Amino acid sequence: KLRGFIFQTPLTKVLTAACKQFQLTVGNDSFLGAGASGFVFRATRSDGRSVALKVVTGIQGMIRLEGEKNKMSAAHNVCPDEVMGVEEDGFVTFDDGAALLLSEV
């Protein structure tokens, strides 16, 4: 019963949906860190590239993550060698949260 509960948490739902949406694989040792607005995982795209996947839950997390996406995209346009870029298809929202896919890690 605990296993079913763990798989139903909002974070797990968003992470699972993001992996499916972006066609990602996230391994057992993929957790990179957590901050005030989400969790970051190392993931592998279907073409073999390593990327960072940031996931958030809740409305406030979604709003913050979209703002972060906009700021990172603008900064990457000015300093492409200094700022990690957002993947072209790299922002998606779900019922329980949102995900941001960042360029190669």
What are the angstrom distances between the C-alpha of 26 and each of 16, 40, 53, 62, 71?
Answer: 9, 11, 9, 21, 26
| All residues at 6 or more sequence positions from 83 whose CB lies less than 8 Å from its CB, including other chains | 72, 75, 76
Whether the CB-CB separation of 61 and 18 falls below 8 Å is answered with no
- Residue 36 tokens, joined: 């005030």
Instruction: Tell whether residue 54 is among the known ligand binding residues.
Output: yes
Known binding-site positions: 54
Please state the residue numbers annotated as binding site for ATP: 54
